[in-house]
Amino acid sequence: MKNNTDTKDSVMEKIVALCKRRGFVFQGSEIYGGLKGTWDLGPLGVALNNNLKREWWKMFVDNREDVYGLDAAILMNGKVWEASGHVAGFFDPLVEDTETGERFRADHLLKDVGVEADGMSLEELDAAILEHKVMSPKGNTLSPARQFNMMFESRIGATAGPEGKVYLRPETAQGIFVNFKNVVDTMSPKIPFGIAQIGKAFRNEIAPREFLFRVREFEQMEIEYFVKEADWETEFEKLRADIVAWHEHLGLSAENIREYEVPENDLAHYSKRTIDFEYNYPGKGFDELAGFAYRTDHDLKNHMEASGKSMEYIESDGTRFVPHVLEPSFGVGRALTAVLCEAYTEDEMNGEVRPYLKLPNHLAPFRVAVSPLLKNKPELVEKARMVFKALQAEFGNVAYDENGNIGKRYRRQDEIGTPYCVVVDFETLGQEAPDLIDTVTVRNRDTSEQERISIANLVNYCQ
Ligand code: ATP
């Protein structure tokens, strides 16, 4: 049974339960009853998350010559968010249950009854809610829609006045735009070029929901790719192919990814073209995984005007211009959820249902688990520890597991997606057949088949 053919909510529930049971994802502040819209990554979740981010960085920064890395501060001068338009316009439409006071996103309630409400004005939302007789989930009437700014505010130091106000960044992108000149001056990049950043972003979502999908604190992986205006369409197609390749690299199957061309009337006023890459989440259907927008020269021009600092790029012949920008923007949590959904598999083994994560090798929290056949035989343990240390030196993320019987160890490792289990037995020590000395059993997670491999070939085998 493969998850994506099963559209029932139960698949998502099983994944959430597995994530908690096996230390991938915990509710934020759980012992105090939680904090809505926050999740904590456990030991295996952080390993998977780090692998995902490392692969992204490798693909989009290290393996390219035209993209530069950056790690900007989360707290930025408040003027950044005025210039970017977030103070005046980063709103979601909010409605309240008139009985309970619970808050909801008006466009989401409309979407739930099949009405696409992206880009509607408050008056249009009210009219659509009336026309379609939309009620709160508790069946009560709804208040008129009003705008709700999604930025978290704080104060810096002891400054009391408005100048002390700061925001937790709602996107990593602005950290890139304000450093555009710094990167140009220090790295002398040839246009087209990109600046990439991975980091936290915060949005005071009205109604966080659906596990990691809509949360208040999340991570983004973003690239601002600077081009000449005349080249934007060619470069757009190249980056679009790179995004497709990235989703393939995550192991997401093509039939579970859909490109949604945002219609012209729904585009942000500064965008000339936006594609949402959507994933077919079980029980939810297709929804945004990543966004890809052509943002013209809107951001750099705004910062140039507001800061009075030039954001021009100067070519070797002295031509000056403000570059245009293409922005691939990925949510780490949404990618992680898609990876888990794609990997979650159930089959039958020895008459029992076996749930396991068919994770790609480069993402699995552990690349390989090593065990001695018996944990009370010092000679087996000693050899197994040796093999473990050698593999750990190569891969880093290797598990040593000697609890329970071998069958249980396999089940445990399958459930967390470990691709290979290595067992050191008496044959490894040369006690059964001399020609098998220094060979081990390697069991494959997906086929559950076992092979005899020489220790010297293990690293190659587990690549
Ligand atoms: P949505 O329409 O789903 O709210 P968005 O269009 O506002 O998303 P962008 O501003 O384009 O999202 O942000 C880029 C990416 O950041 C999204 O594609 C998504 O992967 C991620 N993201 C945005 N908001 C959240 C959130 N509240 N929780 C988790 N990930 C998010």
Query: pLDDT by residue (tens digit) across 397-406?
Result: 999 999 989 9
Residue 438 confidence (pLDDT): 94
Residue 423 confidence (pLDDT): 97
Q: Is the pLDDT confidence value at 1 over 70?
A: no
pLDDT tens by residue, 163-183: 788 999 999 999 999 999 999
Separation of first and last alpha carbons in the chain: 27
Q: Is 176 in contact with 50 (CB distance < 8 Å)?
A: no
Nearest CA residue ID for atom 16, ligand 1: 331
Q: Is the pLDDT confidence value at 361 over 50?
A: yes
Mean pLDDT, to the nearest integer, of 366-381? 96
Tokens of 206: 């009205």
Supply the mean pLDDT for the chain: 94
Residue 118 confidence (pLDDT): 81
pLDDT above 90 covers what percent of the chain? Answer: 87
Q: Is the pLDDT confidence value at 5 over 70?
A: no
Euclidean distance between CA atoms 82 and 13, whole angstroms: 41
- According to DSSP H, which parts of 252-377 are helical? 298-307, 332-343
Mean pLDDT, to the nearest integer, of 318-347? 97
Confidence of residue 433 (pLDDT cuts 50, 70, 90): confident
The angle, 0 to 180 degrees and rounded to 10, between the axes of the packed helices 332-343 and 43-57 is: 110
Mean pLDDT, to the nearest integer, of 433-461? 94
Ligand 1 atom index nearest CA of 290: 18
Tokens of 251: 């192991």
Mean pLDDT, to the nearest integer, of 408-419? 96
Nearest CA residue ID for atom 30, ligand 1: 331
Residue 446 confidence (pLDDT): 95
pLDDT tens by residue, 199-235: 999 999 999 988 999 999 999 999 999 999 999 999 9
Mean pLDDT, to the nearest integer, of 69-95? 94
- According to DSSP H, which parts of 134-192 are helical? 173-177, 180-187
Residue 267 confidence (pLDDT): 87
State pTM to two decimals.
Answer: 0.93
Tokens of 213: 């999908």
Give Cα separations from 118 to 115, 266, 267, 388 (angstroms).
9, 6, 9, 53
Residue 172 confidence (pLDDT): 97
Tokens of 245: 């390749």
pLDDT tens by residue, 240-258: 999 999 999 999 999 999 9
86 CA distance to ligand 1 middle (Å) = 15
Nearest CA residue ID for atom 19, ligand 1: 331
Q: Is the pLDDT confidence value at 9 over 60?
A: no
194 φ, ψ (degrees, to nearest 5): -125, 160
Q: Is the pLDDT confidence value at 148 over 60?
A: yes
Task: Ligand 1 pocket test: pick from 329, 330, 339 the residue with the most ligand atoms within 8 Å of its Cβ.
Answer: 329
Residue 3 confidence (pLDDT): 42
Confidence of residue 432 (pLDDT cuts 50, 70, 90): confident
Q: Is 402 in contact with 387 (CB distance < 8 Å)?
A: no
Query: Residues enclosing ligand 1, CB less than 6 A?
Result: 203, 205, 214-215, 218, 220, 288, 290-291, 329-331, 333-334
Q: Which residue has the tokens 């529930």?
A: 13
